[in-house]
Amino acid sequence: MKIDKTKLSRRDFFKAGTIIVGGIAVSSTFIPFDGLLFAIERPKGKGKWYGIGIDINKCIGCGKCAKACKIENNVLDEPFYFRSWVEQYTIKMDGSILVESPNGGIDGFKQSVPDEEIFKSFFVPKMCNHCAKSPCVQVCPVGATFETPEGIVLVDETYCIGCRYCVQACPYGCRYIDPGKGTVDKCTLCIHRLDKGMQPACFEICPTEARIFGDLNDPKSKVNEFLKNHTCMVIKPHLNTDSKLFYNALSSEVR
C-alpha cells in the first residue's frame, strides 16, 4: 500500500502527533503507581542472600555484641543510639512482663525481680532485621536507603536528606538520626568486614555462638542448618516485612 503524502494535511499531522505524544504522556502517569506494589513482590537475591539466626536459648546477656558494634562502627556512645542491643525479658508469676535494656545491655544486666516472683526470664539480642520487603526502604523519599543484591539494607549517608520517615517506618526501632551528621544510621551487617571475608563484629564476639549468619540461598550454609534444626520465628510476622532475622525459642511476649 502506498501512502499518498499529498493528502496528509497539517491537521492530520497534528492529530496523529497529539495522539502519540498524549498517549505516551497519559500512560507515563501510571509509572508512579508501580511504587504501590513494593510490598507485594517477594524479592530473593540470585547470588548470596544473607540471613541471620539468633538462638535465644544460648544468649547469656553479656552485652558484648552491643559493645563490639559500638566500637567497630563508631556508634555514638550515648545510651540512645544503638545498631545492636540486648533486651532482658522477665515474665512474672502474675503474668506481667518486664522488659529492660539499660544502656542497650552493654554494661550487663541485673535482675531486679526476686527469684520467687519470676516465671521465666531470657535475653533477646536485637539488631536490624534486614527485611527483604523493608518498610524503611519502601518509604525513603529519595532512595538513600536501599537493599544490596545480597539482601543487606544500607543507607547512603551522602544522599540521605534526614527526613526521618524511615525511622518512623521501621517496626523494630533499629534506626536513629546521627545528631552530628543529620542523616540516618543503622546496622550495616558490618559489610566492610564481610567484604574482607570476616564476620560482623557482633557475631564474632559472641562467646556462646548465639548468633549465626550466612547465605540463605546456600542449602549447606550455617544459617540454613540453624533454620532446619530449630523452630524459628521472626518478630512481628504479621507486618509481612519478610524479616531475615530468625530467632530460635522466641517467646510470644517478644516484640
- Where residue 105 falls (left for φ over 0; alpha for ψ -120 to 50; beta otherwise) is left
Alpha helices in the chain (DSSP H): 10-28, 64-73, 135-139, 165-169, 191-194, 201-205, 222-229
User: Which of 17, 179 has the CB closer to other proteins?
Assistant: 179
- Tell me the H-state helices in 145-221: 165-169, 191-194, 201-205
Please say which residue, 8 or 142, places its beta carbon nearer to other proteins.
Answer: 142
Among 175, 205, 227, 246, binds other proteins (CB under 8 A): 175
Name residues whose C-beta falls within 8 Å of residue 4's C-beta, 6 or more positions apart in sequence.
none
Task: Work out which of 60, 113, 118, 177 binds other proteins, going by CB under 8 A.
Answer: 177
Q: Which stretch binds other proteins (CB under 8 A): 45-53, 112-120, 156-164, 193-201?
A: 156-164
Q: Does 181 bind other proteins (CB under 8 A)?
A: yes
Question: Is residue 181 a contact partner of residue 41, using CB atoms and an 8 Å limit?
Answer: no
Residue among 17, 179, 207, 237 that touches other proteins (CB under 8 A) = 179
Q: Report if residue 120 touches other proteins, rule: CB under 8 A.
A: no
Footprint of other proteins on this chain (CB under 8 A)? 31-32, 34-36, 38, 78-82, 85, 87, 97-101, 104, 126, 135, 137-143, 159-165, 167-177, 179-184, 239, 255
